[in-house]
Structure 1
Amino acid sequence: MKQVATASATVGLVMVAVGSLSFAATAVNGDDIKSLEAKIADQEKALANSQQQLATMKDALTKSGELPAEATEQSADRTSKDANSSAVSQSDTETTEKQADSIQAAAPSPTTAAPAVVAVSRWKGTSLGLGATINTGDNSSQKLNGVLNLKYTALPWEYSAKVDPQYQHSSDQGVSTSKYNVILAANYYFSPKNFIYNNFTYTYDKFDGNDYYWNYSSGYGRTLYQGPEVTITGQVGPGYVQRKIQDSGEVQRLLSLNTMGRLDWQINDKTVFSQILTPVYTTDLTTVTTSTALTTQLIGNLGLQVQFDTKYLSNVTSSARRFTTTTSLNLLYSFA
């Protein structure tokens, strides 16, 4: 009986060891599976040998009458359970191996390059240009034209400035003069498509009947449509206009209603088309300006821009015309 107890204890310890190894096999990673399989195989062989020795001893004890037949049946049941436990352990090992293979297959390869992130400059849209301009309408003139476009984006704010100095000679009036046009804008985006705009425009032009003209407005703006290539934006808001009339020297100060519509079309990677319509309404003067431009990249940061502008004034002096046009051709250098 002592030998039976000793053999049973040995079998129990082996079963505990096998169970522990089976549990450990489910927790390790794929790199240790082969080593664990070898250890489990050795333990299974030792278990099989112990079970065989135990069966031989039980047969001998049963034949000698020292061990009743019921004990033999219980031992057979335990032997069957041990075999089932060994099969479960084998199944757990195979499951762990499959899980490790699945995890290894799902893991990204260290040699796979991450997609490149293109950094967009906050100064995108900034450029400097120089060219020539031809006017028609209130005077026929040729002039040298320069343009500076500044744009800086730091969301939720977007800032822009355009300075358009021109030196022109009028063939009608036989005089030379300079013209300055400055446009400043600051937009605050409170949502991806909605913003509050602030615009200031100053114009100095001796040929339009005014010594100077400036307009400040603030209001609501919205991106009406945004597609892969086309963007349409609108603005509306109140403003304040001040101008000095040349003939009389009178300074007018007027409240205004300002509207603006803009279309930008990215034709291809190198060509952009833009159209801007800006009506300004006051009790004494209505001004409608349009600007149509086609800009294309020539080489590197150097581009070419063709622009056609129109201007309509509802109330002008005797020396000026209501409708004028300006055609300009500029070489542009983009900084960002």
Structure 2
Amino acid sequence: MSQPPLAAYPALRLRRLRQADWIRRLVRETVLTPGDLIWSMVVHEGEGRVPVGSMPGVERLSVAEAAKAAVEARSLGIPAIAVFPHIDGARKDALGSAAADPDGLVARAVKAMKDAAPEVGVMCDVALDPFTDHGHDGVLEEGRILNDATIERLVEQGLMQARAGADILAPSDMMDGRCGVLRRELESAGLQDVMIMSYAAKYASAFYGPYREAIGSGKLGTGSVDNPGDKKTYQMDPANSEEALREVALDIAEGADMVMVKPGMPYLDIVRRVVETFSMPTFAFQVSGEYAMIMAAAQNGWLDEERSILESLGAFKRAGAAGIITYFAPRAARLLGA
């Protein structure tokens, strides 16, 4: 009779550490808590809450509802909220002029949230795409996104957000040099305590579609020479990894306090490389398409919804992320507190 497979190694039984919940918890290498989450939230000009069709469970919130959500975040132990605006099409133009309006939707939402729950951090997206009628992140001229002209607009926007009470500015436009100019202008304006979380490695991804519905972003690719069909000339090529490290290095040198990789799950390798290379607080954005895929599969009975949510978020922590920007934040926080 042949020897049992473990006869030569009688002590080699890794399953001993998996046999019960208490021991699995004791030896767990990665722990996800509500303190790891940033709540990705869309605000709108109207009243109440408006469901987003392609993102089941996600709603656009009025300013008053956003203030209530900030209180909810505090009670759930969620440290911060990332604000994204849905702007009325009548207020959009080619330059995204409404982006810097000190009396606009973003300023009012930030002020309301900070008044309601000052302990909760507020992060603002520094980008023009919610405000442009063409849906791009910058100033367009003959089909080209103008880098330096866009930065001028972004700085105006960022300073407005900081003066409204935003704790973190998150430039997501992928223009070269924007972190350095923004940091310089914040210092000059006496806003040196405002943090910058750079979208340092943001890819030209197919996973942003539901977000564009959520914010009512302008339609890309209308066929006009003045409206390119994608954002590939300024967002990163999904095939590239080394380039991400160069992008991150530049943003850190320019004064970014934290960096971000976006999207999240398809780019966990980038998260790990950034963390290991720079030892900087590195965040991942679980974007709208990732959210929509999980929810669609769960609603069809193909995935266990609660387990899938927590497993997906845990993957970011396992990859080394300091935290995750996610639409699942309030749901996950409740699950983690259960």
Q: If the TM-score is normalised by the length of the shorter chain, which range does it land in?
A: under 0.3
The structure whose RCO (Cα within 8 Å, separation 6+) is larger is 2
Q: Tell me the TM-score normalized by structure 1.
A: 0.23
Q: Tell me the TM-score normalized by structure 2.
A: 0.22
Question: Whose helix proportion is higher, 1 or 2?
Answer: 2
Higher Rg of the two aligned structures: 1
Question: Whose strand proportion is higher, 1 or 2?
Answer: 1
